[in-house]
Every structure is written in C-alpha cells, then in structure tokens.
Structure 1
Amino acid sequence: MEVIELKINAMGNEIVLHPTLVFDHETSILIDTGIPGQLHAIKQGMVKADVPFQTLEGIILTHQDIDHIGSAPHLLEELNKSISVYAHKEDQLYIEGNVPLIKTDISRMSDQELDALPDEVRYLYNNPPSVKVNLLLEDTQELPYCGGIEVIYTPGHSPGHVSLYLKRTKTLVAGDAMVKMNGRLCGPVEQTTLDMKVAKQSLRKFLNYDIETVICYHGGVFKGSPRPYILEILSEIV
C-alpha cells in the first residue's frame, strides 16, 4: 500500500490530495485520481512505490467530486488497455457525465458566484472530467484484490460516497467521510458535504471494523484507532 501525495494550488493555497495505491506482486488498484492533469504525478508516485504502471487493473472512485474523478480519463487513455472502474450506483450518472456534478453545477450558481471563480476553475466546472463506470459497488461487497478490499457505503458527503477497508493491513480508506486536521480525525467538511447529518451517521459503520490506520483524502494518514473520534462526532448529531 502506498499513499500518493498530489499537490495542487487552489486559489493561492497549496492543498495535498491523498489517493491510495493498493498492490501486490502482480496487480495494483488506485483509489481516487486527483484533479485533471495529475497523470504524471500519479505515475511518479507509482515509480516511488516500485509499482509498474501497467499493473494497474482497476480504479475505485469513492465519489463524484472533481478532485476524485480528476485524472481517471487520462489514466485510462495512457494505459491503453481495458481496466475496471468502480463506483457506487448513486454517483454513477454524475461520474459518467450524464448529469452535472452536484457541487460544481454552474447552472445552480449565481452570476456573483461565477464571477468569483478563477478562470481555470470556471473552465474546469464547465468541462468536468467523466469516465465510464463499468462495475458498481455495494455495501459490504468484497473486491478480490490485494488481500480483500471491503466496500463501506457512507453516503452524506455525496449520495454515492463509499469508503474502503483493506483487510490485509487493517486500513480504512475514508475518502472524504473524514478528514485529518491537526493530528486528529474530524467529520467531513461541512461546506462540501450535501447532508451533514447523514454523513456523520455513516461513520457509525466504521465502529464494526478492526482499524489500525486511516487514510483521509484530505489530511493523509492517521495511525491508530478512529473509534474515540467517531464517537465524539456521533455525539454531535442533532
């Protein structure tokens, strides 16, 4: 397992995204793909992990946001072979571009909001990435890769958000269900979460797993059990 660090500049601030590369001797699976244009950085991350690019057999998208779908189309084009693209059915139509992405749908934005967007962000919102999902994920489903990857359906941040449990390493890939801030685990970012109450309630599922490491897409790696933080977040539900 390797956590790839992808750095982006967002309105003058550096943000680091953390896709997860899961691999064994023959196969690798990438969980989330950064923003468009980060293919080279992903390939560099795979080189650092000593994982050949052509071993990539699947991409798992935890949900529909641009910074997760991002470079998936370029990865598929570069690989020049058929691989599996996984996502939950509730986010499928958005990921495939059949309907606008919920959080960056410019038709829902006011003129003032559009004017406030930098040119490159406005272009991205007008031309979001899309990719064909050929395999749908379901809650508790186990994918037969690298010791077993169990799907945990965690809606709230988006309708089809999923997290993944890597059985071999007892690692939770939380996606955006949780973030790491100042060394501690927190619930999802309220400004980008569609239903905060549902998103927090989804975290209850994590209590059923023996977790030793948590990977947050925003914040990176947390070592230890998330249980006390989850219980604290659940206690805040109104």
Structure 2
Amino acid sequence: MKIVNGISMLDLEMNMAGNKQVIHPTLLHDEQHAVLVDVGMPGSLDEIKAFMEKAGVPLDHLDAVILTHQDIDHIGSIQEVIKAAGKSIDVYAHAEDQPYIEGDKVPIKMTPEWNTQMLSRLPKEMREQAEAMLPAPTSAKVTKVVSDGDVLPFFGGVQVIFSPGHTPGHISLYHQSSKTLIAGDATVSIEGELLGPKPTATPDMPLALKSLKKFTGFDIVRVICYHGGLVENDVNEQFKNLCHSFISGKS
C-alpha cells in the first residue's frame, strides 16, 4: 500500500507459534534508492521482493535496512535481505538493542523463560504444536548505530525517536517532509484507533508509556503501526488523549 509518494507500507503474513496476523514493514523509496524499515519473520524475503517489485522498486535499489528493535518479527529475514540485495547495505539500529541483533545476547523475548510465559497463555492442546513452531534466533551486524534525535539523510530526513520500553533499544522514525511516524511497536492500532504499547509484549510498560508521550511533541499526520497498519484520523489528538488516559489510569 502506497501511503504517500515515496512511502509504502508492506503487508506480510506472520505466523508466530500458531498465531497468524499481518505485520507492516515500511519501504521508503524514490526512483534510485530504497530503505526498508524492519524485515518481518524468517522466510519473508519472497513476500518482500514481490511487494517491492509491485511498488516498482527493484531489490538492488535497497541501500539500507533500519531495524526498530530486536524482536524476531522485525529482524527475522535480515540475513536473507542482505544476501539478496547483492551488494553491501547498511543496517541501522540503536546501541541498546545492538548486542541482541548481532547475536551476542539472546533476544529478551526468546529466552526460555519468555517462551514459557508466552506458551502458557495458549490452550493446552495448542502448546506442543506452538512450541515446535517457535523461530530460531537470527542475527546481523549493525553497521550504523543511531541515537535519539539523529536525522538520517534519507528522502528529506528521517528523525530517530528513541522509544524504549517494548525493548531497551526500541526506536521509532519520523519522516519529516511527509509528517509520517513509523512507530514500530511503540503503539499498536485497530481500525484506525491508536491503543498504545501492547502490555503482554512490553517488559517495561512505565518506560514505554513515557516514550509514547514523546510523540505528542511532533506534528504527525499519519502513523504506520507494525501491528495494526495505517492510522490517519486526528493522530496528534489521539496521542494526546491516549497519554492522558494512561496517566488517568483509564487504559
């Protein structure tokens, strides 16, 4: 789906331990260059290539991948994408999540304790099947470490917003010229309504809510939520109301 000129939202099917849903990496592009924000689960390369071709963007136009954070549904196909690009491409991420992305540490949501907690929410008859479907860890070298406030020199400027809580090094991205927020998992949405971070997948909710408040300092026309897709209805007001509701204990 093309959001505005130069920004396209991908629709990838994800199957995580038997739970099927659609996730939304983002493609920033022009006639010569492209940057992919997150790369889906392992095995997503064919879907990514098909989407890029449909958008008129050959894979060899890809110059960089920006990883919003360490979770497997965001970094799973990174090695496939790097190899398929057929050239050296940069991988951007925050320093706090770098050791998890590079494989020096086990991702915080792939530890045995986390997997047990996740599987415990499933009906007993589904647990064994789901356990067998848990993805193996993946890793890639982070070539560019980003910090809060950095403006990446892509397509009119992409500002990094450090938004930890969902993971220690979670980042969101603000495309300045189109006023588009690529939220990663800092917030989810359903049918155009922003809901904030998902508690069951967010180890540090107080920090995640503090990060959410950062978005009220930006003039945002639209949000791309990795889980939930595009939100364009009164985005600034939604963020203000959402933060107020969390502070008031109503959500």
TM-score by length of 2: 0.88
CA drift of 1:182 comes to 3.3
CA contact (8 A) 2:93 2:142 kept: yes
Q: 1:218 aligns with which of 218, 227, 232?
A: 227
Matched residues in 1 for 2:111 and 2:55: separation? 36
CA contact (8 A) 1:186 1:229 kept: no
CA drift of 1:113 comes to 4.7
CA drift of 1:108 comes to 5.7
Percent pairwise identity: 43
Pairwise CA RMSD? 2.0
Secondary structure of 2:137's partner? coil
Which amino acid is 2:97 matched to? D
Matched residues in 1 for 2:117 and 2:170: separation? 29
Pair 1:11–1:145, CA change in 2 (3 A): same
Instruction: Give the equivalent residue in structure 1 for 2:3.
Output: none
Q: 1:34 aligns with which of 31, 36, 40?
A: 40
Instruction: Give the equivalent residue in structure 2 for 1:104.
Output: 110
CA drift of 1:34 comes to 0.4
Matched residues in 2 for 1:109 and 1:66: separation? 13
Instruction: Give the equivalent residue in structure 2 for 1:151.
Output: 160
Instruction: Give the equivalent residue in structure 2 for 1:2.
Output: 8
Matched residues in 2 for 1:110 and 1:71: separation? 24
Instruction: Give the equivalent residue in structure 2 for 1:67.
Output: 73
Cα distance per residue 1:91-119 (max 9 Å; x no partner): 00000010100011126655995893525
Runs of 4+ in 1 over 6 A off after TM superposition: none
Secondary structure of 2:47's partner? helix
Secondary structure of 2:35's partner? strand
Instruction: Give the equivalent residue in structure 2 for 1:128.
Output: 137
Matched residues in 2 for 1:161 and 1:10: separation? 20
Whether 2:171 is the aligned partner of 1:162: answer yes
Matched residues in 1 for 2:73 and 2:28: separation? 19
Which one is further off, 111-120 or 177-186?
111-120
Matched residues in 2 for 1:111 and 1:65: separation? 16
Instruction: Give the equivalent residue in structure 1 for 2:194.
Output: 185
The size of the alignment, in residue pairs, is 235
Pair 1:36–1:208, CA change in 2 (3 A): same
CA contact (8 A) 2:12 2:40 kept: yes
Cα distance per residue 1:65-88 (max 9 Å; x no partner): 000001111001111211110000
Gaps in structure 1 of 5+ consecutive residues: none
Cα distance per residue 1:146-173 (max 9 Å; x no partner): 1111100001110000000011211000
Gaps in structure 2 of 5+ consecutive residues: 1-6
Q: 5 Å matches for 1:189-204?
A: 189-204=198-213
